[in-house]
Each structure stands twice: as structure tokens, then as C-alpha cells.
Structure 1
Amino acid sequence: MAARLGHTIKAVLFQVHSIAGLVLALLVSLIALTGATMSFEDEIVDHLNAGIMQVAPRQAPALMPDELVARLKTAQDLGKVAAVTLSSDPSAAVHVRFARDEQGGRPISLYVDPYDARVLGAPRAEAFFATVRRLHRWLLIPGDGKGWGRPITGTIALGLIVMLVSGLVLRWPRRAGSVKLWLKPNLGLSGRGLHRSLHTVIGTWVLPVYLTMTLTGLFFSFAWYKDSVTWLLARPHVAAAKMPAKSPRAAGRGEPASPIGFDRAWTTFQREEGGRFSRALLTLPGGRGAVIRIRSWGKESSLETTRDEFRIDAVTGQLVSAERYADKTFGETIIAAIYDIHRGEILGWPGKLAFMIAAILMPLFSVTGILLYLSRRRLRRPAQRPLGRLVPGE
């Protein structure tokens, strides 16, 4: 009875695995390949733009961010500045990013000389990687993160989890002695046997990587998933603080009468951090409010997630909140590192390389899965006698 029940369950799981694979094969491969393309984006962009990311250090003090932005706007009309990245390194250029225009497009960013606001150039490959990122996250569906692309890619991730779990159950070894065969592909086979060996064995190797990618990717797709992870891993007051922050001044009076600038927030940040930071990203609020968000990385920081985050009232210069990486609990560091875990960077460049290779292999499972499905269809097709051999009456 138990054996029959187990056989039935596996038969159902096999159908679920096959149907999900056929439906999602192309989209899963597309998302995986675009993710692989972005694996070493930072290193590629830095290499291509090394000539415009550095300046000759001078004795004169660097411009304050508002003066730099004002000079930049005077030189050429480039749209509204949304964020600037400043550095404690006197030889580092300032990176200026712009807000979306009325058509929803975002102008390309610029590197600017911090001493005289001279435009050094636009980063090469930025537009390419921006398109790849939109394809990876939202399938280029209009609306980007606010459109249908986000829930669609999230649903694809859920479907991939179903395929991974069902495939693992179907592959589970019946005997301990069969583990070697379970993990070693038989390259001496051909046809259907080879396809099955590659699909199942290599799939077993990369299954932990794919589960990591999908479980962390869901964090960026569904608010309910992100809220659940935050509730589970973060302290209650930290989870509550994840809500969009507004200063009391902004909440009571609405948007400031005049455009807000960076200077007061930057001055407060420098007073708080001193010389401990290596670079800081200052982002203006997207809507109502006067609170500027500042993300800063220490001089010894090697990961994107090992950052401090400050919220400062741009009108008064008052520090609204300070979230330091060193003060996080273990669970909160996991939340902060979700993106680095998702791309394997938490393990350094070997981790990124391993995740990239696993992502590149995704089309292998799509192709071998489809070939296995087609071969099963041929095997199940009833044999027909040739028409030329039929006799009268048949």
C-alpha cells in the first residue's frame, strides 16, 4: 500500500515538474542568462570607465554638492538631479544620477570633477546593463517595478521552486549506495539516456544555487514575502522603521515650498561619520517630504550590503534616523545581504563565478527537459501498420 502511494505521489510530481518546466522553460532561461550577464557588472563598468572615474587631486577644497549641481545645470540642461555619490578619496570623481523624465525614461548618469563641476563623461555600458537589469527583473514590461513585470517574475520564481523541489523528490536515492550514481553523470550514453543523465545529475549539482537565487529573488518581487522575511529576522522596531520615513516638518506641511538641496544633509552626515566612510550615496526624496537618504560604505567595506544608512532632514539638517551595519543582529545582516546572497557575492568572486556558471547552465535543463518530453511522446505513440500493407477489410 505504501509503495503504491509513493508511486502515485511520484507520478503526480513528475507531471507537475514536466508541465511547469514546459511552461516556464523559455522565461526561466531568459531570467537566468540576464542574471549571468550582470554577475560581474561592477568590475566591467569600472574597467571600461577607469579614465573618467578619477581626477587629479588638488589643494583646493572640493565643491559642496549644491554648488556642484548648480554649476552642472548652468553648463547644460540635463534634467533634475536625483542622487550624487561622493567620496572621501580626493582623486575620485562625483557620480551624478538624474530623475526620470516625463516619458518615464532616465537620462544617463555622469561623472563630474568634484573641484570645478566639469563633466568628465557618461559611463560606458550603463545603458546596456540598465536594459539587461529591466529585462531580468521585469521582462521589459512597461511600468518597470510598478507594473506587471514584478509579480510576473515573482510567479516565475515560485514556479522554479516547484520544479526544483519536485525534481529533488523524484531524484532522491532509494539506497545510500546509489548516491555516487546520483551525483555522477554517465557521459557514455547517447540520445534519451544522455539527456536524462545531464538533466538530472547536473541539475542536482546546481539545485542549492537555484534555490538560493529564487528564495532571495522573491524578496524583490512580493511585498508580502519581504514583509514576512523582515518580521521573521528583524527586531520589531527595526521592522517598523522599514516604512518610508518622513520628517515631522515634511509630514505636517507637505512638500517644501522651494527645491531642497544636499548641503545641510551632507554637513550633518560628515559631522556624524567623520573620516570613517569611503563613499556616500545621497538620494533626494522621490515625492513629498524633505528627508534625504544617505547610504555610506566604510573604508574596509568589500560588499554592497555592509553599509550604514542615514535619513536627514534636508531643510533643518536634523538627523532623523541612523542605521549602522555594526549594530545589526545576525538576522538583520541576512536581510541587508539579500542582494549579495542572490548573486553569490557574499562568497566573494568565487561565489559570483559559481552563480554565474549555474545561471548559464539553465538553458541546458530547458533544452534537455523538452527533448525528454518529446521522446516520451514518441515512445507513447501507438505503432501503426503501414497503409501499403493493409489488406481488404482491415
Structure 2
Amino acid sequence: MVKNTFKKTIRFIHLWLGLTTGLVVFIVCLTGSIYAFQKEIKLLVYPYYQVEESAKGRLALSDLVHAYEEQSEHQVLRIYDFKEPSRSTMLLTIENKAYYYSFINPYTGEILNEVFLARDFFTIILYIHMNLLLGEIGTQIIGWSVIVFIISLISGLILWFPKNNRVFKNKKGRKSQFGIKINAPKKKLTYDLHKVLGFYAASILIVLAITGIAWTFTWVDNALYTAVTFEKKKEEKPIAIDSTNFRTTSLDALKEYVLPQREDKDLFIYFLPNTNTEPVRVMSSPGDDRFGNSDNYYADPSSGSIISTKFDEEKNAGQKLNSLYYDIHTGSLLGLGGKILVFLAGLIGASLPVTGVMLYMNRRKKRKKKKRIVTETIQNEEIIEQKHEEMKNKIALLWLFLAVGFILHHIYGLAGIYFGKELAIEGANGETPGWAHYYRILFEIIILILSLASLELTKKWFKITSFVWAILLGLFNTYHVVEAILYEASNTSEIILLGWMVAVSILLILSLNKWKKIKN
């Protein structure tokens, strides 16, 4: 009995967490799959990524930068110098706050192409994957949705295990757990696709999800660091040096020093000084899709002489793990095989919300069909159920309206901070403070869960819980509308929005009060 209750609870958590974040998970997984082979596709499709080898030899980096500056007004920020003779040299450049990848022939100095990153297909895919093109707000949405996705995957694995382990001892049982019957009826096929493919991809998706949120949340990165080193992560002091006399010839001296030492590396990225106190840095890595085994050299911007180094073998376990996030997340750590795994896992991850919703809809249709088969002896129960159904739909809609109100007010407030408008927030400096939206995201998630759960649950405890939450949120909204009227009376749009949220809260409280009086 306890085991059945546990499974029911896990199934409930799995269902509603999946429905709540399904759309975001679908987008993240699909864009991740598309991005998995971005390097191979670029080399195949874009001719300016490659050049013909020349017997003349490559131009010095200083000459290359000089040749580029004669042809373009863009400022050079980084140089991607490939060891492979057939690869063009790539520059990260900027003009009027717009970033470009500029491709230049390393033998002639001729500009082959300049790609505006805001319109580059794979850059757009990457930023959809990272923040839905919504900046910091989108980053938070992605981060928290992925955390919920991890919980969904773990709960899915728990549900995958059968009640009786004897299932694994016979061929038919193993087939039901590990195999997909392609010619099965549509509903059974949908169930198998969700259950079996989810099992195969879950462990990979959990690893990808953890490495993803380690970029999003500092506390996750710090926790992983502590987990592998058993010590707290320390802030590394940046190397400071006068870079006002930066000379491009320092790049030549630096390359001459680094290249013979790192013959095993295929890419050398030169970071030019961006302030008056930055050294020149060169990072040597195995390629443009692998950065884990990288070495860093810091040099004097005027002479190119080495002032500091950070080699891969000197990193502790935490630093090593941090440097491998990208390689693990993209699958490049395991080469082509790893990328194929990530690609397939991403496609399966994108399919899980789709098959999950299909299963949910099939389940609802089945319930409705059962409800229509009612005899005269249970007509009273049908009337009660009909009342529940009407109230559930109304309450779910009101919760949804309230969630939309919270989201709109959230975006309105954060946009004000993000764009540096004057707000009643101490220390506002144009950046989004975490506390300003963490609690709102929590409210939004809870409200959406309550909205979805209202369609399924009629238990007394759930009605009371919903009623209490509605009262608390109603008081919260009332406080905010009064505060806005007293201190921001000229801000009509915000007052109208908050007033609408108060009105929805009142209707919700009244509806929930009426609903909890209906007998189950």
C-alpha cells in the first residue's frame, strides 16, 4: 500500500512538472540537437571557412591584423588561429556594439566574409538554447525549467522500474521494458516511445542538464566544484598590467613562443586587451569544439613576453571539471560518437513533452468516455461530478489569468531594471538583481502548477491548499496595488495591471470557497 502511494505521488510529480515545463524543454532539447553538429555543417556549407594552401606561408599575426584593418573599420577583439593549413583565420570583431565573425585568408590577408552574429543561424540557435532570446530573464526561465526537467527525468526513471523485478527474468518482460513494438496500436506506441526512449536517454540528458545549469547558476558551479575538491571555490584575482602601449607585434612574439610548446593543439585563440589593464592572453585548445584540455598564456601587451601561465595539468579537479563543461555538454569530449549521442538524446528529450502530452490527452479522453456511460442509479454522482468539472475549469482558468498577470508584471518590472529606468529599488544599476525575480518565478511556477492540478484533483486537502494560496496571493496583490497608488500614482498602466490581478484574486477566492463546499 505504501509502495502504491509512493508511485502515485511520483507519477503526479512527473506529470505536472512535465506539463509545466514541457514547452521550454522541447525548445532547449531541439535547439541542442541542431547545434550538436554546427562545426561539421559550417565546414560543409560555408566555403569561407576553408582556404587553399599556399607555398608562401602564412602572414604574421600583426600583418594579418594590419591587412584586416585596412579593409574594415571593425575593431579586432580575438583572433582564432588554426594549425590546420586549410582553415581560414577567424576574427571576432565589433562595430557600433554589433559583433561579427570576420574570416580572413591567412596567406594573403584578404577578407573572405564578415558574418553579423545577430543574423547568423547557429548563433541564433545557440541563444534560443541559452535564453530564448530574452536576455537574463530567458536565462532564468531556461535554468529553472532545466532543474524541473532533471526532477522529471529522475521521477520517470523511478516509474520505469516495474512493481515486480521478475519481469526482467523472462523475454516478454524484458521486451516490454526495453523494446518498442512499432506495429502496436497508436496509444501503446506512444506509451512505449515515452517510457522506453526516456529510459535510454535519461542518464545522458541528466548529465547534459547539469552541465547546462552549471553555466546558468553560479551556485551549481560552486556546488560541483566543492563536490569534486571537498573545498570552497576561491575567487581568482585577474592579472593586471598596463596595456595602453599594446602593439600587434607582441602577438608575433607570443605565437613564436607558444606554438613550439603546444604542437598537440590545433587552435590558438588570442584575446586582445579590452581595457587599459588587461594582458594579452592566448588559449591553446584541441580544436574549435573542444576547450577542456586548454592551456593559457598571459603576456605583456607591448612586448609579448610571458608574465604568467595556467596549464591544463596544473588545474585541480574542480577547475578541470569547469573547463570540461562545454566538451561534455556538446558531446565533443567523446568525438563524433559523443556528438551523435548528444544529438539523439536531444531529439528524444524534445519528444518526451510531446509524447507526454499525448498520453495525458488520451487519459483525459478515456475518463470523459467513462463518465458518459452513466446509469440511472448514479445520476446524482454524475451531477456532482459535472459541478466539479465546471468549477475545475473555471478555477484553472482563473489561476491561469493570475499567472499571466504575474508574468506580465514580472516582465514589466524587470524590463525597467534591465533598461536602466528609474525604479524604487535601491542600488538599481541597469542589471537585473536576482532577488527581484526569483520569488516571482517561484510564484509563477506554483500558480501554473495549481492551474493544471485543478483540472485533475478534487481532494479536500487540495481545495484547502488552493484556497489558502489564493488568499495569500490576493493579499500580496492588494498590497502592491495600494503601494502603486500611493507612491506611483502616475504609473497608470501598472496600477491597471495590478488592479486586474486583485480582481482575478477575488473571483478566485470566491470560486474556491464555493468549490470546497461541493461534496466529493
Q: TM-score range by the shorter chain?
A: 0.7 to 0.9
Matched residue of 1:140: which SS? coil
1:27 alignment partner in structure 2: 24
Q: What amino acid is aligned across from residue 13 of structure 1 in structure 2?
A: I
The 1:307–1:236 alpha-carbon spacing in structure 2 relative to 1, beyond 3 Å, is same
> What is the match of residue 152 of structure 2?
163
- Give a deviation string over 1:97-144, Cα, whole Å, max 9, x none: 113633xx323x222133442212346998111111111111111x3x
Q: Quick one: higher RCO (CA 8 Å, sep 6+), 1 or 2?
A: 1
Q: For structure 1, which segment, 174-183 or 88-97, has the greater mean C-alpha deviation from structure 2 after superposition? A: 88-97
Matched position secondary structure for 1:117: coil
One-letter amino acid of the structure 2 residue matched with residue 150 of structure 1: T
Who is 1:281 aligned against?
A: 269
Corresponding residue for residue 135 of structure 1: 128
Rounded to whole Å, the distance in 2 between the matches of 1:229 and 1:265 is 36
Indicate the SS of the match to 1:148. Answer: helix
Aligned-partner Cα distance in 1 for 2:229–2:297: 18
- Indicate the residue corresponding to 2:356 in structure 1: 369
Distance 1:91 1:17 in 2: 50
Q: Distance in 1 between matches of 2:72 and 2:182?
A: 62
Give, in whole Å, the separation in 2 of the partners of 1:75 and 1:134.
Answer: 30
Does 2:210 correspond to 1:221? no
Contact conserved, 2:281 with 2:296, CA < 8 A, in 1? yes
Distance 1:288 1:14, change over 3 A: farther
Residue 281 to residue 164, structure 1, CA distance change in 2 (3 Å)? same
Supply the distance in 2 between the matched residues of 1:267 and 1:88 (Cα, whole angstroms): 17
Distance 2:186 2:89 in 1: 57
Report the CA distance between 1:279 and its aligned residue: 2.8
SS in 2 for 1:99: strand
Deviation at 1:314? 1.6
Could you say what secondary structure the match of 2:327 adopts?
Answer: helix
1:41-79 per-residue CA deviation (whole Å, 9 max, x = no partner) reads: 1111122335552243344662333x43233222232x2
Pairwise CA distance, 1:269: 4.8
The 5-angstrom pairing of residues 304-323 of structure 1 reads 304-315=291-302, 317-323=304-310
Structure 1, unmatched stretches of 5+, are 251-255
How far residue 87 of structure 1 moved from its aligned partner, in angstroms, is 3.8
The alignment status of 1:344 with 2:331, answered yes or no, reads: yes
Output the CA distance in 2 between the equivalents of 1:88 and 1:120: 18
Could you tell me which of 63, 68, 90 is aligned with 2:60?
63
The alpha-carbon distance between structure 1 residues 13 and 74, as it changes in their structure 2 partners (threshold 3 A), is same
Matched, 1:177 2:176: no
User: Which residue does the alignment assign to 2:4?
Assistant: 7
The equivalent residue for 1:253 is: none
| Cα separation, 2, equivalents of 1:158 and 1:220 | 13
Measured at CA, do residues 244 and 315 of structure 1 come closer, stay the same or move farther in structure 2, by a change above 3 Å? farther
Any conservation in 2 of the 1:296–1:309 contact (CA below 8 Å)? yes
Length-normalised TM-score, structure 1: 0.81
Larger Rg belongs to: 2
Note the C-alpha offset of 1:292.
Answer: 2.5
Q: Which is helix-richer, 1 or 2?
A: 2
Partner amino acid, structure 2, of 1:321: S
Give deviations 1:197-255, integer Å, cap 9, x for gaps.
Answer: 22112211111111111111111111111122233335979x54x636232x35xxxxx
Shift of 1:188: 4.8
Single out whichever of 54-63 and 305-314 deviates more from structure 2.
Answer: 54-63
**Count of paired positions:** 367
Given that 2:48 and 2:88 are in contact with CA atoms closer than 8 Å, whether structure 1 keeps it comes out as no
1:113 touches 1:119 (CA, 8 Å); kept in 2?
yes
1:42-81 paired onto structure 2 within 5 Å = 42-50=39-47, 53-59=50-56, 62-65=59-62, 67-77=63-73, 79-81=74-76
Deviation, structure 1 residue 282: 0.7
- Contact 1:297/1:307 (8 A) holds in 2: yes
Return the letter of the residue paired with 1:22: L
What is the Cα-based RMSD across aligned positions, in Å?
3.2
Query: Is contact 2:280-2:301 (8 Å) kept?
Result: yes
Map of 1:110 onto structure 2: 102
CA shift digits 1:268-294 (9 cap, x unpaired) = 353244253433111224456222221
Higher mean alpha-carbon deviation, 267-276 vs 367-376, is at 267-276
Gaps of 5+ in 2: 169-173, 384-520
1:190 to 185, 188, 197: 185
Task: Give the C-alpha shift of residue 367 in structure 1.
Answer: 2.0
Which of 372, 376, 385 in structure 2 is aligned with 1:383?
372
Deviation per residue, 1:281-311 (Å, 9 max, x gap):
1122445622222111369x99442221223
Amino acid at match of 1:10: K
Find the counterpart in structure 2 of residue 263 from structure 1. Answer: 249
